[in-house]
Amino acid sequence: MGATMIPASADPSAPRQRHNRGPVGRVGRTITTAAAATAGVAAQTLSFSERMVAGAIARGIAQTSLHPVDVMRTRLQAKGVAKNWAPSVFLKGVLPQIILALPAGAMQFAAFEASKEKLAALLPGEKNQQVRDLLAGAAGATAAASFRVPQEVIKQRIQADIYPNMAVAVQTIAAAEGPAGFYRGALATMSRDVPWNALAFLFHGQAKSAFASAAGRKPTNQENLGLAGVSGAIAAVIMTPVDVVKTRLMTQRAGAVQYKGIIGTLNRIVQEEGAATLMKGVVPRVMFLAPLAGITFSVYEGVSTVIKKRKAREAIMSGQLTDASGLLPAPAPAAGMAFVAPRVARVGSVTGRTNRRVVCRRPVLL
């Protein structure tokens, strides 16, 4: 089972290595260890493009798998749509859902992670954690809007029986309304998505704190996913009226515009159909967003882990990562080996003070 790396110094037949000594110890060892630690951190960090890939896959899988529930929500909220629930109806608009979910997810997670890193420097400390999550979540939703709004316009008009397919929808919208037609209801979409992300992150943070206080421990990954789903569901209920307004704005035909603006649409719905109409589709909306949050984040974490393992293997194979001694490049690992997160070692100096230094752990079998 073991594939433990042995440093050269442990091999009696290996030639004894000399090291230049500096004022704080072995310079060669320090430099090698620092390089290995840098490589280790790099292997455990996703680049901007890698985050885009993970986000695209996560959002694509989540939205595609939950598309039938999204169709139900749209048809309940749109005005004048026949309540036809034939099996084929639940696939309406699935093509724009898939195609545009990929870039939307890529932009959302890349912007979210980049914002978290920037905010960590601007708002350091545990007390600012919730503020950082709120702002980063809002930034991610804002970045995704450039693809989310056209996605919503095209797929919802197909779901509401206005157009038969994506090709006809794109051609008709472009000809009748121009490029601006693909962004009809953009403000309403932003007014729904940005607060929903902010509220979901806020509720999730509070739920984790409450769980830790009650159970005396942090939630497991499975429990955390459940808390995220509940948090997303609560936020979805709160934002349902805005979702109804957005759907009405987006599902209008070019020659039959009935609603204008968020406030105007809200007032007209209440006056003509009653305030209860603003909660139409709340059940399928919750059924959509609660699992959407869980699936999206779990897939994102899973893809991120796969990418990190691949980068770690490549770093080990190229000799950039070292064993715990920090002296020698690691030999080619056996299949299934990966880098384990760096640990911190304390190294004494000639001045008597203790210095902290990151030392790479040995690769282990996965």
Q: How does pLDDT run across 194-204, given as a tens digit for each residue?
A: 888 878 877 87
Predicted confidence (pLDDT) per residue in 2-11, tens digit: 343 333 444 4
Tell me, what's the pLDDT at 83? 77
What angle (nearest 5°) sits at the alpha carbon of residue 51, between those of residues 50 and 55?
120
Co-location of 273 and 341 in the same domain: no
Tell me, what's the pLDDT at 303? 93
Co-location of 92 and 110 in the same domain: yes
Q: What are the residues whose beta carbons fall under 8 Å from the beta carbon of 267, sequence distance 6 or more? A: none
CATH label of the domain that carries residue 300: 1.50.40.10
Co-location of 37 and 183 in the same domain: no
Calpha distance 304→119 (Å, rounded): 21
Task: Retrieve residue 78's tokens.
Answer: 């749109």
Co-location of 121 and 224 in the same domain: yes
Co-location of 61 and 89 in the same domain: yes
Query: Rounded to two decimals, what is the model's pTM?
Result: 0.69
Tell me, what's the pLDDT at 34? 52
Q: Indicate whether 8 belongs to any domain.
A: no
Q: Indicate whether 351 belongs to any domain.
A: yes
Q: Indicate whether 200 belongs to any domain.
A: yes
Predicted confidence (pLDDT) per residue in 233-265, tens digit: 999 999 999 999 988 988 887 667 788 888 999
Co-location of 26 and 90 in the same domain: no
Return the residue matching tokens 């409450």.
210
- pLDDT classification of 293: cutoffs 50, 70, 90: confident
Whether the Cβ atoms of residue 156 and residue 251 lie closer than 8 Å to each other: yes
What angle (nearest 5°) sits at the alpha carbon of residue 74, between those of residues 61 and 271?
150
- pLDDT classification of 37: cutoffs 50, 70, 90: low
98 C-beta neighbours (distance < 10 Å), count: 16
Indicate whether 211 pLDDT > 50.
yes
Calpha distance 254→224 (Å, rounded): 44
Its domain, for residue 204, covers 49-307
As to burial, measured by CB atoms within 10 angstroms (0-12 exposed, 13-18 middle, 19+ buried), residue 44 is: middle
In the chain, how many domains are there?
2
Indicate whether 27 pLDDT > 70.
no
Predicted confidence (pLDDT) per residue in 307-351, tens digit: 998 888 887 887 665 544 343 344 455 555 444 545 544 444 444
Q: What are the residues whose beta carbons fall under 8 Å from the beta carbon of 107, sequence distance 6 or more? A: 52, 55, 140, 143, 144, 146, 147
Q: What are the residues whose beta carbons fall under 8 Å from the beta carbon of 152, sequence distance 6 or more? A: 185, 189, 246, 250
Percentage of the chain beyond pLDDT 90 is 39
Q: Which of 257, 292, 307 is the last residue of a domain?
A: 307
- pLDDT classification of 41: cutoffs 50, 70, 90: low
Percentage of the chain beyond pLDDT 70 is 74
Q: Indicate whether 13 belongs to any domain.
A: no
